[in-house]
Structure 1
Amino acid sequence: MTAPLVPSVSVVVPHYETPHDLALVLTALELQEHPLDRLEVVVADDGSRRAPDPGDRPYPVRVVRQADEGFRAAAARNLGAAAARGDVLCFLDADTVPEPGYVAAVVRAVAAGADLVVGRRRHADLAATSPEALRAWLSGTGPAPAEFDEPAWLREAYERTDDLATAGDDAYRFVISAVLSTTRRLFEDVGGFEESFSAYGGEDWEFAHRCWLRGAQFRHAPHAVAWHDGPDFAGRTDDARARRSRNVEGLALARFVPGHATRGDALVWAHPDVVVRLDDTGADVAEVVACVRSLLAGSDAGVWLRDGAALAVLEDPRVHGGEPPAAVLGRARYRVDLDRPVVLVGAGLTDLAEVAPVRVGEHLAVHRTRDLHRGETGTAVLDVPGVGADPAAGVDLQRRWGHEDHRRRPRFQRSLRTPFVVTERPTAAP
């Protein structure tokens, strides 16, 4: 019987002006337990003044380059992946040195069903380590460099989620691009990294978020160990710098990753958490307006109208015509399909999303995007007293909204006959 073919692996290394670090990574890759005839390396240079020279290696290695237009690690990774040929794409930062069993551990995780694999990033002082000293250390014949603390928050997250096997929608937060691997199929299905990220951090979480919604199986591979040169970012910066960096990263993430943890409440974003597709064909404009108002109240949602006649009066930036763009669908956690305008009663769209998949009445269904990609499309019928989705037919907006206004209880009230009295501030004595 013929032995199964060992998967081909492409290691993509984004690089910028760090020839010493790159030499260490390329040396460590020579020591991999994975067969070197099934391994290739692509160095993706982000505009260094001088092109990196990988030297002679026992595996194929090529350099691809892009212009220096600022920090563009996401674009560099995409450039490297486009030049790669492997079935598995291993992304390793140029300052992150893999142990000999790194690639083999990733391949085992993929063979066990993982689509996205996160290695274990450890930290050491490699600034003065030569390729020869590194080879001796990793081969067990030389001393190890000084070690820094491992990030506790990552270790605790992997323990809590059984190495991401039981993770939920927040799984993307435990993915770091320095030790990230995916199948080529998954990478191409989600369209690679978002190239608009132009500062340190965030592009790995955004990429992982889309992979999760696509239905990918995540796995942390604790035996896929790689050593980062220097301490964890949080441990090497002062509070003010760390805070600025988190804010830049947080605002970049808020644009693309929905959820209370990334964007809070109340603001309107181009990529909503909930995508609603409403068949408004032949419906009265007032019915559509009432339906849209009901759906958007208190939710991070966007509504796409099949016919769009109501757009003549609706100027809300969350309401659109036609079909949702692929970029929006790929980032929304929930999808809602309506075959006619309805008005929600007793619960908002956010409440329904939290218990999805669910069907309310005959016309409204809420699904999780991840479930749809994994073929898990079953929906329960929500039967809770006071919760429903009533058809909007026959709605009278003036009476409905006037009735709501009449029932409002103002926080304070004053009689028109008793105007506020403004008391002048006493003039100081001379």
Structure 2
Amino acid sequence: MNGVISVIVTTYNWPEALAACLLSLLDQQDRQFEIIVADDGSGASTQQLVTEFAETSPIPIRHVWHEDLGFRAGTVRNKAVAASRGDYLLFMDGDCVALPNFIRRHRQLAETGYFVPGNRILLSESYTQQTLQQKTPLHRQSFGFFLVQWLQRRINRLLPLLNLPAGRWRYGQPRNWQKAMTCNLAAWKNDFLTVNGFDEAFEGWGYEDSDLVIRLIHHGIKRKEGRFAAPVLHLWHRHNDRSRHDENYQRLLRRVADNTVIRAEQGVDQYLKTV
């Protein structure tokens, strides 16, 4: 695809991780994109960090913030998409680090009628702390460097770093919604708007990204694998409050069972009118 990609980076009160994420994005081989920081109610330190990056960045960076009323990642992502200018959306988390070819490979994978979930490599808790304290530029490291980290059990996997060529296998599970997460997920903006974005009925942690993917599939948008092409390095973090897990999971199961539901009742359209 040609044109600008809108990278939606979700964050909450972890400026050290966000700095690592933004540095990796500013080091991309493909420069035709914008960054929108979707901030789920962080304090002043995150605001200051984003402002400092935006003042010197050759890549456009904007900050979309709302009040901290608990975990509302889907809501702030909707607001960020409403403020976006690109035709293609790439969601990632502010505690993820992208390799230099991340944007380029997602652009190569983009195809009309498909969404593209990538995968991730998890860092251990101690290694996450070490890399942030030492400000290690993980995105600039070689395969051999990560091989050493894997052998020392500092990262959980190595295979996602392999780049497999395009082939029929990428289209093998067109209706599979599992393990498609917004730490690394791309979709056309028109498709996102058609299903009305994230359903804000999913309050608290859990399954708002799976629900989006399920409704895209109900709309006829198919899955195209981004594995072995565009991974992210995911820093360790504590689990969010999961008190709404069961309620959200039951809502998700109802979505899976009812393929007539395509649009979110409370979604992105409420913000489009004000942008």
Whether these two folds match at TM > 0.5 is: yes
Is 1:11–1:42's contact at 8 Å kept on the other side of the alignment? Answer: yes
Matches within 5 A, 1:133-282: 133-135=135-137, 138=140, 140=142, 144=146, 147-150=154-157, 162-163=169-170, 165-167=171-173, 169=175, 171-222=176-227, 223-230=229-236, 245=242, 248-258=244-254, 273=258
- The partner residue of 1:9 within 1, 5, 8 is 5
Shift, 1:100, TM fit:
0.9
Residue 20 in structure 1 maps to residue 16 in structure 2: yes
Q: CA deviation at 1:168?
A: 5.6
SS in structure 1 opposite 2:199?
Answer: coil
Q: Identity rate of aligned residues, in percent?
A: 26
TM-score by length of 2: 0.76
**CA offset digits 1:32-91 (Å, max 9, x no partner):** 121x2x211011111112125222222010111111110001111111111111111111
Q: Does 1:41 align with 2:47?
A: no
Whole-angstrom distance in 2 between the partners of 1:10 and 1:329: 23
Question: What displacement does 1:135 show?
Answer: 3.1
SS, match of residue 129 in structure 1: helix
Q: In the alignment, residue 230 of structure 1 is paired with which amino acid?
A: W
The two structures have a TM-score, normalised by structure 1, of 0.50
1: distance between equivalents of 2:91 and 2:137?
Answer: 21
1:218 and 1:96 mapped to 2: Cα distance?
Answer: 22
Report the alpha carbon displacement of residue 106 of structure 1 after superposing the two structures with TM: 1.1
**Which residue of 2 is the match for residue 68 of structure 1?**
68
Aligned match of 2:267: none
Q: 8 Å contact 1:10–1:87 — kept in the other structure?
A: yes
Larger radius of gyration: 1
Equivalent pair of 2:10/2:40 in contact (CA under 8 Å): yes
CA distance in 2, matches of 1:141, 1:254: 41
The secondary structure found in structure 1 opposite 2:226 is strand
Paired residues of 2:91 and 2:186 also in contact (CA < 8 A): yes
SS class of match (2:129): coil
Query: Compared with structure 1, are the counterparts of its residues 68 and 143 closer, same or farther at alpha carbon in structure 2 (3 Å cutoff)?
Result: same
Query: Which position in structure 1 is the counterpart of 2:95?
Result: 95
The amino acid that maps onto 2:114 is D
Structure that is richer in strand per residue = 1
Tell me: higher relative CO, structure 1 or 2? Use CA pairs within 8 A at least 6 residues apart: 2
Tell me if structure 1 keeps the 8 A contact 2:218–2:262: no
CA distance in structure 2 between the aligned counterparts of 1:274 and 1:107, rounded to whole angstroms: 29
The one-letter code of the counterpart of 2:39 is D
Query: Matched residues in 1 for 2:225 and 2:259: separation?
Result: 29
**Structure showing the higher helix proportion among its residues:** 2
Equivalent AA in structure 2 for residue 201 of structure 1: G
Decide whether the 8 Å contact of 2:115 with 2:185 is kept in 1: yes
Partner SS for 1:162: helix
Q: Which runs of 5+ in 2 are unaligned?
A: 160-167, 265-275
Distance in 2 of aligned mates of 1:248 and 1:45? 21
Asked whether the equivalents of residues 206 and 248 of structure 2 are also in contact (C-alpha less than 8 Å), the reply is: no
CA gap of 1:250–1:173, structure 2 versus 1, over 3 A, is: farther
Aligned to 1:84: 84
Partners of 1:217 and 1:8 in 2: how far apart? 22
Closer, same or farther in 2 for the Cα pair 1:151/1:249, shift >3 Å? farther
What's the offset of the Cα at 1:31? Answer: 1.4
CA positional deviation for 1:194: 0.9
Q: CA deviation at 1:191?
A: 0.5
CA 1:77–1:123: 2 relative to 1, 3 Å: same
CA shift in 2, pair 1:91/1:128, >3 Å: same
Q: 1:95 to 1:208 in 2, by over 3 A?
A: same
The answer to whether residue 23 in structure 2 is matched with residue 31 in structure 1 is no
Instruction: Measure, in 2, the Cα distance between the counterparts of 1:148 and 1:139.
Output: 14
Q: Is the 8 A contact 2:207 2:252 kept in 1?
A: no
2:117 matched residue in structure 1: 118
Q: Distance in 2 between matches of 1:274 and 1:76?
A: 26
Q: CA deviation at 1:253?
A: 3.1
SS in 2 for 1:6: coil
Alignment RMSD: 3.2
Alpha carbons of structure 1 residues 52 and 252: separation in structure 2 relative to 1, 3 Å: farther
Q: Which amino acid aligns with 1:120?
A: N
| 2:90/2:187 contact within 8 Å kept | yes
- Asked whether the equivalents of residues 174 and 224 of structure 2 are also in contact (C-alpha less than 8 Å), the reply is no
Aligned length: 241
Quote how far apart the aligned CAs of 1:7 are: 2.4
Counterpart-to-counterpart distance in 2, 1:132 and 1:31: 19
Indicate the SS of the match to 2:202: coil
The structural deviation recorded for 1:102 is 1.1
- Letter of the 1:128 counterpart: Q
